[in-house]
Structure 1
Amino acid sequence: MARAKSAAPAPAEAAPRPLAGGARGTVSRLSDHRLLPIVWLALLAVPFVAPNAYLVSLANMLLINLILIASLNLLMGYGGQISLGHAGFFGLGAYASGVLSAKLGVDAWIGLPAAALFTGLAALIIGIPALRLRGLYLAMATLGWNAILVVMFNRLIDVTGGPNGLLGVRPFAFGRFALNSDVRQFPLIWLVSLLVMFAILNLLRSRIGRALRAVATNELGADAVGIDSFHTKLLVFVLSAGMAGIAGSLYVHVNQFASPETFSVSNSILLVVMVAIGGSGLFWGPVFGALVYTAVPQLLLDYEDAELMLFGLAMLVVLIASPTGIAGLPATLRRRLARRRP
């Protein structure tokens, strides 16, 4: 007797696959695009709710520091290149724009893009040999570059004013309407910082941003799939320096003064620490880093003798509690709670 044919099993439907890391990143970045204008619209209220001009001036410095730290986060957090010369590029942009204004009478609106171009060109010249180095050797090369710049700022007295600083820098102005007060300066700094943050966000979503992450993760692997790792690192190094130059130009025209002490090697090291505290490689990390960099020294003014010790202790506590920085603290807490669940 012939056996009945067993029915062939129906093809099972493919199980839904989890989103890849790239998809999750896209969703996160899209939410950042929505969140960024909301946060910056809220910041517009600062001049109206701040009880005095001093707090408005701190808000101005916060946004300038944000540009500076966000540009370093682009290079260090996303590109994996440690630079100890970022304060030098900050100072180069400040002196380039300040000297054009104080010595040559060039309008500040021209000095702003000129500072970005000048620092970008300097980064290109320095980056071609320096970025062939890796790790500690690259950090040492950029540290030496910062030290050379500080010596130049001090020795070129006829140009930079030397240790006494650069005087006579004129503020931004619309005709006769000069932006010579903290409240008047805030909208300009607010707008520039918003444009820089949007530029970084769009860059990270672009092909260059994906190539940058690939190079930071595995440089040999990136070369193997056709990414030119050296030119990718050089491009981001130049862009990062150009943004630092923009921050320097804003700084010198807001304060109408520049001193070599502001752009020292110790400040470059502190900027690297602020990237780590805020959240290295996280888009919102520089916001928290800039907040700490701006506010904490003001809070510790009454403890002048112990300021450095307390500052270092606070940074140590933050990094132990959350190795991914303040911006990564929610994710760190979620992971720890998940491990404690049965």
Structure 2
Amino acid sequence: MLNRFLQLRLRGLIVLAIILLCLPAFLSNPFHYDLATQMAIIAATVVGLNLLVGFAGQISLGHAGFFGLGAYFTGIMTGTYGWPAVPALIVGAIVVGFIAWVVGRPILRLKGHYLSMATLAVGFIIAIILNNERAITGGPDGMPVPALDLFGWELSSFGQYSLFGLEIEGFLAWYLFASLILLLAVWFAQNLIESPIGRALRSVHGSEVAARVVGVDTAKYKSLVFVISAVYASLMGSLYAHFQGFITPAVASFEFSIVLITMVVLGGMGSTFGVILGAVVLKLLPQVLADFQELETVMFGAILMLTMIFMPKGLLPTLTAVVSKKFEKKLEKKAGGAS
């Protein structure tokens, strides 16, 4: 069973890598690459959030706050104090992880809507701080962020780079880099899920009481996954800040937190590749519906509502179940015909 899962996990990563490598063939201008790069960064963020929500069963309505903290930390450190980007990303992730641990220990004792309200309050507090500290963050006007400096190699959407002897545009280089980060994020999440930590998280999701009875330190594992998901958000927020070149407190807003949690639910909680699909769909829908102008929001909401009604388990788990049933029926027909 374990070997079968490992094979499926490897196949999933290979399929995702092939899709990411082939996608540039369908991208015709910098705007398409910009959208695809944003998708990859946000998809990696929701992969981390899915560890908390889908596997540990702990809700977070303020997760954009950690995304925003990572974005602003690297923006301030690199732009104001001249830090190299990589140390800023790493230190930012450590700081955000520590903050998540400090706030997570008390609020993760709560359950249900009490936990939802607590995480919502954390997100609001972070957004308010980013808005009000004008001298440091630029306030509502935001702040510029330097290009990403990777050990002396500056990654910018407007540059040109040589890769394996080929000259590529900066927006393609950014897309490839974000795709690599997404693959690493998925690889780490998949390995964590099948580790003893992942099994403990699933037991917490199933029943905290039963988990405690068999010796699982539920408080420890809930805090751990909260920190891991916050570190995911911080790192992706930092990359997003360098990619965009400018950030505002909107990156830590309540609306963005709702978008992130909706991506997880839409794609399928507990499905790593499902939440990636949810991120892609939710980022693409506004572009597809843009021509409907004032009806865009109504149609967007209607599509999400209908999806949740008819696909309550999420897009990918539902589609996978449908395909599996059809495949099983075909096998049964063949077996019946052979007999």
TM-score, normalising length: structure 1: 0.87
Could you tell me which residue of structure 2 aligns to residue 238 of structure 1? 227
Q: Is the 8 A contact 1:101 1:170 kept in 2?
A: no
Task: Give the superposition deviation at 1:48.
Answer: 4.9
Task: Please give the secondary structure, in 2, of the residue aligned with 1:324.
Answer: coil
**Equivalent AA in structure 1 for residue 241 of structure 2:** V
**Equivalent AA in structure 1 for residue 273 of structure 2:** W
The 3 A distance-change label for structure 1 pair 168 and 282 is closer
Task: Give the superposition deviation at 1:67.
Answer: 0.9
For residues 154 and 307 of structure 1, the distance between their equivalents in structure 2, rounded to whole angstroms, comes to 29
Matches within 5 A, 1:220-239: 220-239=209-228
Name which one, 1 or 2, has greater alpha-carbon Rg: 1
The 3 A distance-change label for structure 1 pair 236 and 105 is same
For residues 262 and 298 of structure 1, the distance between their equivalents in structure 2, rounded to whole angstroms, comes to 19
Could you tell me which residue of structure 1 aligns to residue 103 of structure 2? 126
Q: Is the 8 A contact 2:147 2:156 kept in 1?
A: no
Could you tell me which residue of structure 1 aligns to residue 18 of structure 2? 41
Q: 2:205 aligns with which of 216, 226, 230?
A: 216
Task: Please give the secondary structure, in 2, of the residue aligned with 1:105.
Answer: coil
Could you tell me which residue of structure 2 aligns to residue 324 of structure 1? 313
For residues 138 and 146 of structure 2, the distance between their equivalents in structure 1, rounded to whole angstroms, comes to 12
Describe the superposition over 1:250-302 as per-residue Cα deviations: whole angstroms up to 9, x where unpaired: 10000111111232112212221211110111121111111122111222223
**Equivalent AA in structure 1 for residue 132 of structure 2:** R
Task: Give the superposition deviation at 1:26.
Answer: 5.9
The 3 A distance-change label for structure 1 pair 29 and 293 is farther
Q: 1:179 aligns with which of 146, 156, 164?
A: 156
Could you tell me which residue of structure 2 aligns to residue 152 of structure 1? 129
RMSD, aligned CA: 2.1
Q: 1:262 aligns with which of 251, 256, 259?
A: 251
Count how many residue pairs are aligned between Structure 1 and Structure 2: 317
Could you tell me which residue of structure 1 aligns to residue 162 of structure 2? none
Task: Give the superposition deviation at 1:172.
Answer: 3.0
Could you tell me which residue of structure 2 aligns to residue 116 of structure 1? 93
Describe the superposition over 1:179-217 as per-residue Cα deviations: whole angstroms up to 9, x where unpaired: 333222122211111111000000001000001000110
TM-score, normalising length: structure 2: 0.88
For residues 27 and 145 of structure 2, the distance between their equivalents in structure 1, rounded to whole angstroms, comes to 29
The 3 A distance-change label for structure 1 pair 237 and 167 is same
The structure that is strand-richer by fraction is 2
For residues 296 and 109 of structure 1, the distance between their equivalents in structure 2, rounded to whole angstroms, comes to 33
Describe the superposition over 1:69-124 as per-residue Cα deviations: whole angstroms up to 9, x where unpaired: 11111100111001001111111111111111111111112222222212111100
The 3 A distance-change label for structure 1 pair 334 and 67 is closer
For residues 282 and 208 of structure 2, the distance between their equivalents in structure 1, rounded to whole angstroms, comes to 32
Any unmatched runs of 5+ in structure 1?
1-22
Identical residues among aligned pairs (%): 36
**Equivalent AA in structure 2 for residue 318 of structure 1:** T
Describe the superposition over 1:303-327 as per-residue Cα deviations: whole angstroms up to 9, x where unpaired: 3423322111111111112111111
Q: Is the 8 A contact 1:29 1:201 kept in 2?
A: no
> Is the counterpart of residue 99 in structure 1 residue 79 in structure 2?
no
Q: Is the 8 A contact 1:46 1:56 kept in 2?
A: no
Any unmatched runs of 5+ in structure 2?
158-169, 333-339
